[in-house]
Amino acid sequence: MTLHIDTDWGKIPPYAIMIMLSFAAGIGSMFFINVKSGVRKHMAGYLSLLAPFMSIFFGLLLTYITTFGKGLGLSSIGGLFGMFAAVVTIALIGRDRREFRTMLTSCTLVVPLMYSISKIGCLCAGCCRGIACHGAFCIEYTGKRTGDICVFPVQLAETLLFFAIFVTGIILFMKKKQNTELFVIIASVLGKGGLDFLRASHTDKIISLNQILCLVIAAVAIAGYKYFKKLRIEN
């Protein structure tokens, strides 16, 4: 079974549609979780308004920086940074520590869903694609943007894995399990960092910039998580 994708699409670019869907689903879920968990409705609303702009801004900015001003594109890690930058900004305005914690949790929970949906866009557009391969389950791309190539369906693997992380995270959250955020963070970092080995952009590299950033995110997130947990125990 070989999946065939033609990247010579018509007027409507599939990538842009999936990015918009990704934001609609992610920001909508985040608003819902925040309001259900006791965040004041207007604060949750401000976060939903600010998050897409900051996410896209940092997504573009990180690509711009890492390509030394030559690249134009949305980096998912930059986008992730923007989402949390929006949470911090709204928390500074709201000045409520409990709301801040709730918003951090909801943001952590929805990011895998956003990534999962956005990767369908990459799959259709032929970007962020996998290493060359010719076995069964490979994707055959044709079209001007990619040329005729056969590659490993890494974007599809990312979509499935991150959707599974999202669903598991939500189930753990609803069961009020401890360390739910930590599970989501570690599973996401391992998933993203691990699957990066199967990306075409990883060829000829021992470790990619994405993987280094994953390690940094893991370190910062685990340190932050422990800090908040300590605060909770002290309160």
**Closer residue to Zn ion (CB): 105 or 155:** 155
To Zn ion, the closest distance from the beta carbon of 127 in angstroms equals: 3
Binding site for Zn ion (CB under 5 A): 122, 127-128
Q: How far is the CB of 125 from Zn ion (least distance, A)?
A: 6
Smallest separation, CB 123 to Zn ion (Å): 8
Alpha helices in the chain (DSSP H): 14-36, 41-66, 76-94, 97-125, 154-174, 180-195, 209-234
Comparing CB distances to Zn ion, the nearer of 152 and 173 is: 152
170-204 in b/e form (b: 16+ CB < 10 A) is: bebbeeeeeebbebbbbbbbebbbebbebbeebee
Nearer to Zn ion, 14 or 52 (CB): 14
Minimal distance, residue 232 CB to Zn ion, in Å: 37
DSSP per-residue string spanning 65-94:
HHTTT---S--HHHHHHHHHHHHHHHHHHH
Q: Which is nearer to Zn ion, 52 or 121 (CB)?
A: 121
Q: Which is nearer to Zn ion, 128 or 189 (CB)?
A: 128
Contacts of 181 (CB under 8 A, 6+ apart): 104, 105, 108, 109, 225
Give the nearest distance from C-beta 140 to Zn ion in angstroms: 18
